[in-house]
């Protein structure tokens, strides 16, 4: 089932989740354990992230430096296939512009169609330390709206090459939103205009970057509606679990940690996880009181604290 259909059919607020493929060389079992932990609470869908290739530099025994190119976390499509077909939970596959050609993207979408996966999240992706060369006979999507356009074309059976009697691939398409603005945007108003372009290109819903201050999401929601964006805007949440995350989350995701939350964790570092869980629970309760249709948790690969929150609503 499509994400948008889950939202339309549900009478109660939903909880969805995002997980990350295991690093190269690691077993998928740990990730399956996370899904098994979430499964009893009937998640409507689970997102699985995607990753571009990056460059690594290794010093060899003779002192020389070896440069290797690899994808640290492959397996997004395979993991989605396991979740959807073993657990009967719908999945959302993350698709990136960075590091992938339009031809590779089309092949991936065809594979997803074969697996019965109907949902994708179209993202630009991070600019990494390695930019994949694009062959002369290949093309790439520069922005997320371009990727949305490619998926939308496939809904009409329009492939990159002219072919006769092509079958349409009817995907539900999500895009990202940033209540505190994308770090590359000059201001929030401009960022919302970029997001509106993604919706006009065919996006069905928006899921936000994590935030810890509900007022920023609610203000963002109003500004989006005032700008004419009518699709569902799902709030993204995360449970803070350590003092270290007070630095790593703002650095990596460009979001603010409210002073009351950071102050309490700094005063009681050994209870950081319990403090973070209580804060997230308060966020969910307030968001649901404001008629938000779904709370999307960035679980990564540890669902224990999130499950404690979800239990209170079941």
Digit-coded pLDDT (tens) for 182-209? 999 999 999 999 999 999 999 999 999 9
Considering Cα of 238, then 242, then 245, then 246, what sign does the dihedral take? positive
**For residues 128 and 52, is the Cβ–Cβ distance under 8 A?**
yes
* Three-state DSSP state, 1: coil
CB 141 within 8 A of CB 97: yes
pLDDT of 26 over the 90 cut:
no
pLDDT at 54 over 90: no
Mean pLDDT of 29-53: 89
- In the block, tokens 């993350």 appear at 94
Contact, 86 vs 31, CB < 8 A?
no
State percent of the chain over pLDDT 70: 89
Residue 179 reports pLDDT greater than 80: yes
Q: What is the pLDDT of residues 96-120, one digit of tens each?
A: 988 788 999 999 999 999 999 999 9
Residue 125 has pLDDT above 80, yes or no: no
Instruction: Give the C-alpha separation, 121 to 134, whole Å.
Output: 23
User: With 90 as the cut, is the pLDDT of residue 22 above it?
Assistant: no
Give the residue-averaged pLDDT of 271-292.
97
Global confidence as pTM: 0.90
Six token digits for residue 32: 């399956």
Angle between helical axes of 259-267 and 245-253 (0-180°, round to 10): 150
Rounded to whole angstroms, how far apart are CA atoms 162 and 92? 28
By percentage, how much of the chain surpasses pLDDT 90? Answer: 75
pLDDT value, residue 300:
83
CATH 3.20.20.220 for domain 3-311, yes or no, is: yes
Query: For residue 53, what pLDDT is reported?
Result: 42
**What is the DSSP annotation of 141-206?**
--SHHHHHHHHHHHHTT--SS--SSPPP---EEEEEE-TT--TTSSSHHHHHHHHHHHHHTT--EE
**Between 53 and 35, residue with greater pLDDT:** 35
pLDDT in tens, 63-99: 444 444 445 667 899 999 999 999 999 999 999 988 7
């Amino acid at each position: 089932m499509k994400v948008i259909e889950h939202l339309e059919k549900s009478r109660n607020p939903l909880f969805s989740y995002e997980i990350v493929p295991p690093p190269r060389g690691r077993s998928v079992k740990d990730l399956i354990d996370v899904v098994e932990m979430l499964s009893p609470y009937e998640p409507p869908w689970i997102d699985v992230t995607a990753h571009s290739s990056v460059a690594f530099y290794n010093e060899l025994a003779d002192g020389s430096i070896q440069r290797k190119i690899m994808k640290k976390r492959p397996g997004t499509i395979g993991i989605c296939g396991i979740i959807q077909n073993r657990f009967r939970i719908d999945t959302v596959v993350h698709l990136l512009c960075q590091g992938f050609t339009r031809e590779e993207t089309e092949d991936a979408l065809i594979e997803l169609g074969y697996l019965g996966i109907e949902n994708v999240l179209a993202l630009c992706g991070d600019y990494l330390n390695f930019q994949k060369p694009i062959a002369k006979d290949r093309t790439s999507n520069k922005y997320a709206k371009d990727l949305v356009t490619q998926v939308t074309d496939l809904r009409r059976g329009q492939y990159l090459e002219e072919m006769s009697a092509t079958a349409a691939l009817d995907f539900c398409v999500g895009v990202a939103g940033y209540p505190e603005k994308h770090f590359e945007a000059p201001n929030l108003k401009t960022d919302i205009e970029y997001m509106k372009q993604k919706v006009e290109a065919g996006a069905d819903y928006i899921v936000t970057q994590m935030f810890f201050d509900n007022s920023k999401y609610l203000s963002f929601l109003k500004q989006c509606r005032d700008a004419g964006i009518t699709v569902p805007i799902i709030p993204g949440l995360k449970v803070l679990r350590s003092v270290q995350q007070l630095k790593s989350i703002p650095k990596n995701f460009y979001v603010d940690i409210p002073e009351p939350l950071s102050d309490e964790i700094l005063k009681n570092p050994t209870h950081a996880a319990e403090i973070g869980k209580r804060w997230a629970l308060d966020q969910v309760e307030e968001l649901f009181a404001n008629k938000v249709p779904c709370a999307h948790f960035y679980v990564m690969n540890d669902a224990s604290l999130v499950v404690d929150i979800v239990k209170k609503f079941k």
